[in-house]
Amino acid sequence: MTTTPPMTFRTLERRVRGQATTDGAGVKLTRVLTQDLQQRLDPFLMLDHFASDDPNDYIAGFPNHPHRGFETVTYMVAGRMRHRDSAGNEGLLQNGGVQWMTTGRGLVHSELPEQESGVMEGFQLWLNLPGRDKLCAPSYRDIQSADIPEVRSPKGAVARVISGELRGKLDGMEAQQTGAVNRSGEAFPTQALYLDLNFDTTGGVLELPLPAQHHALVYVYRGSLRLGADTLDAPLMGILAQDGAAVRLEGLACGEGSAEPCRALFIAGQPLQEPIAQYGPFVMNTRAELMQAVEDFQSGQLG
């Protein structure tokens, strides 16, 4: 009789506390994934968390600025932000929604608050493009909260699937769900899996297989989460080691070392294993390509 070997879960390699900074016209935020971690977390280039109920921290927003060579994924937990770009796209990003923008050969865009009070909270992830796609046609997509698929367990745990495919177990229940963004094959070489996990007051457990070569991170932004023998308390990012065939994330219930329900982002993807050359809002493979991007922006060729 053959038996299935036990599943080996990845362990915590490193805790990372984000760096307070400002961006745009003075928006206060925390840069969680910084430039020094880009190779380790390839294909992910940056992760910012902005959260404040003081309008002075966010009201000036992000006026017109250029991008080339990657994708931006902006996920709004609370608040309203208006997007406009040089390709003529316009959209309103609001509670629970996502803006997915492929900058490709270049765009100039703005993201400006449409509120003067209250909480504004969200995340922006930069996802790299392979060299062959860095000069592709730019595109933009607004995804409203109601259009983001969710998996719910009987215990109350929720996994929102922003991109990729969730195939695992949520509180022991089989969970299979395709994300709001799910390009396949060569059209989506990074295979980015992006989940927002809400483990409610009673906690919860997510288990899912993960290809050995995929890089993965978890960012706890509420409460506490257990990863193997380690605990991550908000606001901390955990980089997962490349030492297992699966991931097990356990949100701690209120009272189990946590004063509030656990909420966390889980992000994983296939590394591109290409050189990364960055100058501000441009991410290419070589210095020469960066210089060309700057020249094209200055001559008005990015819109």
57 within some domain: yes
Q: Is the dihedral of CA 126, 129, 135, 141 positive or negative?
A: negative
95 within some domain: yes
Query: Phi/psi class of residue 297: alpha, beta or left (left: φ > 0; alpha: ψ in -120 to 50)?
Result: alpha
89 within some domain: yes
pLDDT score of 5: 58
The CATH code of the domain that includes 209 is 2.60.120.10
Who's near 228: CB < 8 A, 6+ residues apart?
9, 10, 11, 12, 248
Q: 133 or 256: whose pLDDT is higher? A: 133
C-alpha atoms less than 13 angstroms from C-alpha of 244 in its C-beta half-sphere: 20
Residue 257 has pLDDT above 90, yes or no: no
Q: How far apart are CA 225 and CA 231, in angstroms?
A: 6
Q: Residue 239 is part of which domain span?
A: 12-298
Query: Phi/psi class of residue 104: alpha, beta or left (left: φ > 0; alpha: ψ in -120 to 50)?
Result: left
1 within some domain: no
* Percentage of the chain exceeding pLDDT 70: 97
4 within some domain: no
Residue 108 has pLDDT above 90, yes or no: yes
30 within some domain: yes
Q: Over the stretch 23-65, which tens digit does the pLDDT of each residue have?
A: 999 999 999 999 999 999 999 999 999 999 999 999 999 999 9
> pTM for this structure?
0.96
pLDDT band at 3 (very low <50, low <70, confident <90, very high): low
6 within some domain: no
pLDDT band at 188 (very low <50, low <70, confident <90, very high): confident
164 within some domain: yes
Q: How far apart are CA 181 and CA 73, in angstroms?
A: 11
Estimate to the nearest angstrom the gap between the alpha carbon of 237 and the chain centroid.
12
Please tell me the total count of domains within the chain.
1
Q: How far apart are CA 106 and CA 138, in angstroms?
A: 7
pLDDT band at 6 (very low <50, low <70, confident <90, very high): low
